[in-house]
């Protein structure tokens, strides 16, 4: 499906903005300094996947000031918080906004006051921004409720999720009831390829499904001078790699986007010794289940063929995986309409082709419809460094824009039916 909706589906800005749009603008201006401070604190104190207890505690403190019901997930990594402005909505499904909170094993090389204080760990994927935006949205909506500036009742849940980088956190949060009473979910991801003020939207497939692959080749080692007495696993490994690259792209319809890559090979310890085993590690990225199924069948068959040729045992194991993120059409249109209201009609950039990266936000979408948008974070001075690099940073003007978009989307989601 194209990322751009039909022309007739594109919303137009109202001639007169509703009063709550101005209220969002004013609240964002007043709260923005706190959001920047929050993001910088998180950036200075990153935690790796499965270790996010201090991050969770800090975010819980921020939310506790709003007097909202907060539920810690499991052993205290990740949390949810609900804002329900009318008891009549207490038993009705609510919309969720999700932010991830884990960092990456990368050394921060920026020369900034908020540089990471943890050796070898940094927020190189923008999860500090994601978490700040979700908390900031709850703060802004709570302020509008307190001032009587919400146009109608809303029910929203903040989901602050650990372990996105290992594709474990979404399922962990779902297991701990993060989606109970939720019927829709929104998320964001920072994008250094887009300028501040721009948001990327796409209906349908946004990111690819990703499987981590491990292939073990077990043979019979021996002296390098007598290879005929061995079953060489390195020979089996190199044959498998070259055949896999060739066969996948010849057997699958070119219109079905598939990306297969080998990133790591382990074998041997000496130049004159043929080892007993070799291992390789790679990824398979696909946009639909049929292409994934066919690619995995090809790799399984390839293992059997290489085993017959070399006498080595070939074992393929699937590791961490996440399905594709498929954006719901109506929720993507909700984001579009909201961006026109609180940002600018020109702010939306329709994404033509999906990313072959992966996101464990997709696990939520197996249970409820949802949509993710790309948040432009590149400014004139900062924000253009690629994701997952030691110099990654963001132009912090983007934080308030994302909060405003989330807040408007929540409000619009609950707009009463005129009928």
3-state secondary structure of 17: coil
Residue 1 lies inside a defined structural domain of this protein: no
Same domain, 300 and 213: yes
**226 and 172 in a common domain:** no
Q: Could you count the other beta carbons within 10 Å of the beta carbon of residue 193?
A: 13
Q: Give the integer Cα–Cα distance in Å for 344 and 283.
A: 38
> Average pLDDT for residues 202-227, to the nearest whole number?
96
**Mean predicted confidence (pLDDT) in 292-315:** 96
In whole angstroms, what is the distance from residue 209 CA to residue 358 CA? 6
Statement: residue 288 has pLDDT above 70: yes
What CATH number is attached to the domain comprising 144? 3.40.630.10
The H or E element spanning position 259 is strand 258-267
- CA–CA distance, 137 with 402 (Å, rounded to integer): 9
- Classify residue 418: in a domain, yes or no: no
List residues bridging with 318 in a β-sheet: 213
Task: Provide the pLDDT for residue 352.
Answer: 95
Q: Tell me, what's the pLDDT at 212?
A: 94
Same domain, 46 and 187: yes
- Over residues 177-201, the pLDDT tens digits come to 999 999 999 999 999 999 999 999 9
- Report, as an integer, the average pLDDT of 29-46: 98
Closest CA to 137 of 96, 179, 169, 178: 96
Mean pLDDT of the 338-342 span: 97
Same-domain status, 288 and 349: no
Whole-prediction pTM value? 0.90
Contact 102, 164 (CB under 8 A): yes
- CB 412 within 8 Å of CB 340: no
- Terminal CA-to-CA distance of the chain, rounded, Å? 32
To which residue do tokens 């390098």 refer? 224
The pLDDT > 90 percentage for the chain reads 89
What lies within 8 Å, CB to CB, of 17 at 6+ separation is 341
> Quick one: angle between helices 127-146 and 397-413, nearest 10?
50
Q: Would 419 be classed as within a structural domain?
A: no
163: Cα separation from own chain's centroid? 10
Confidence label for 8 from pLDDT (cuts 50, 70 and 90)? very low
Number of domains in the chain: 2
Q: Which of 278, 298, 322 is the last residue of a domain?
A: 322
Other beta carbons within 10 Å of 319: 11
Q: Which domain holds residue 224?
A: 209-322
The last residue of one of the domains, among 322, 338, 365, is: 322
Shared-domain flag, residues 335 and 315: no
Non-local CB neighbours of 270 within 8 Å, separated by 6+ positions: none
Task: Confirm if 70 and 152 have CB atoms less than 8 A apart.
Answer: no
For residues 318 and 328, membership in a common domain is answered with: no
| 32 and 138 part of one domain | yes
Across 94-109, average pLDDT: 98
Reduce the DSSP state of residue 373 to 3 states and report it: strand
Distance CA 89, CA 183 (A): 13
Same-domain pairing of 184 and 85: yes
pLDDT per position as a tens digit, 52-89: 999 999 999 999 999 999 999 998 999 999 999 988 77
336 and 306 in one domain? Answer: no
Among candidate residues 294, 322, 350, the one where a domain is terminated? 322
Q: Which of 99, 106, 102 minimizes the C-alpha distance to 122?
A: 106
- Residue 3 is predicted with a pLDDT of 61
Residue 96 has pLDDT above 80, yes or no: yes
> Quick one: how far is CA 107 from the chain centroid?
21
Torsion of Cα atoms, 232 then 238 then 244 then 246, to 10°: -130
Residue 102 and residue 128: Cα distance in Å, rounded? 8
90: phi then psi, degrees, rounded to nearest 5:
-60, -35
Q: Count CA atoms within 13 Å of residue 69 on its CB side.
A: 8
Residue 129 has pLDDT above 80, yes or no: yes
Residue 120: Cβ within 10 Å count: 12
d(CA 61, CA 63): 5
Residues 65, 138, single domain; the answer is yes
SS3 for 116-181, per residue?
CCCCCCECCCCHHHHHHHHHHHHHHHHHHHHCCCCCCCCEEEEEEECCCCCCCHHHHHHHCCCCCC
Residue 33 CB-half CA count within 13 A? 1
At residue 232 the predicted structure's pLDDT band, cuts being 50, 70 and 90, is very high
pLDDT at 172 over 50: yes
- Judge whether residue 10 has pLDDT over 60: no
Confidence of residue 321 (pLDDT cuts 50, 70, 90): confident
Q: For 90, which DSSP code?
A: T
Give the residue from 271, 260, 215, 275 showing the smallest Cα distance to 240.
215
Q: Which pLDDT band, with edges at 50, 70 and 90, does 320 fall under?
A: confident
């Amino acid at each position: 499906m194209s990322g751009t909706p039909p022309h007739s589906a594109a919303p137009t800005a109202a001639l007169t903005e509703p009063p709550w749009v101005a209220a969002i603008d004013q609240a964002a201006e007043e709260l923005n300094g706190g959001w920047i401070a929050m993001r910088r604190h998180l950036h200075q104190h990153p935690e790796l996947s499965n270790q996010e207890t201090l991050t969770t505690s800090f975010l819980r403190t921020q939310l506790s000031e709003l007097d909202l019901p907060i539920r810690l997930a499991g052993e205290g990594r990740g949390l949810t918080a609900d804002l329900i402005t009318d008891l009549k909505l207490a038993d009705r499904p609510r919309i969720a906004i999700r932010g991830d909170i884990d960092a990456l094993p990368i050394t921060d090389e920026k020369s900034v006051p908020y540089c990471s204080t943890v050796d070898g760990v940094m927020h190189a994927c923008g999860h500090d921004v994601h978490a700040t935006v979700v908390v900031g949205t709850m703060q802004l909506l709570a302020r509008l409720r307190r001032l009587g500036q919400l146009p109608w009742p809303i029910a929203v849940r903040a989901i602050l999720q650990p372990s996105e980088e290992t594709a474990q956190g979404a399922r962990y949060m779902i297991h701990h009831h993060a989606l109970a009473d939720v019927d829709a979910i929104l998320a964001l991801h920072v994008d250094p390829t887009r300028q501040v003020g721009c948001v990327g939207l796409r209906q349908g497939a946004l990111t690819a499904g990703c499987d981590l692959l491990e292939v073990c080749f077990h043979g019979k080692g021996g002296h390098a001078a007598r290879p005929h007495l061995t079953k060489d696993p390195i020979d089996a490994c190199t044959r498998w790699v070259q055949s896999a690259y060739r066969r996948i792209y010849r057997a699958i319809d070119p219109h079905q986007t598939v990306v297969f890559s080998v990133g790591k090979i382990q074998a041997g310890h000496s130049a004159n010794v043929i080892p007993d085993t070799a291992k390789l590690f790679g990824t398979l990225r696909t946009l639909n289940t049929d292409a994934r199924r066919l690619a995995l069948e090809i790799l399984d068959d390839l293992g059997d063929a290489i085993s017959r040729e070399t006498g080595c045992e070939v074992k393929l194991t699937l590791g961490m995986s996440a399905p594709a993120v498929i954006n719901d059409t109506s929720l993507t249109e909700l984001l579009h309409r909201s961006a026109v209201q609180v940002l600018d009609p020109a702010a939306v950039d329709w994404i033509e082709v999906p990313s072959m990266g992966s996101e464990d936000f997709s696990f939520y979408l197996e249970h409820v419809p949802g949509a993710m948008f790309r948040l432009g974070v590149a400014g004139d001075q900062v924000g253009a460094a690629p994701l997952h690099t030691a110099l990654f940073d963001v132009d912090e003007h983007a934080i308030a824009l994302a909060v405003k978009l989330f807040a408007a989307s929540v409000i619009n989601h609950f707009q009463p039916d005129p009928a």
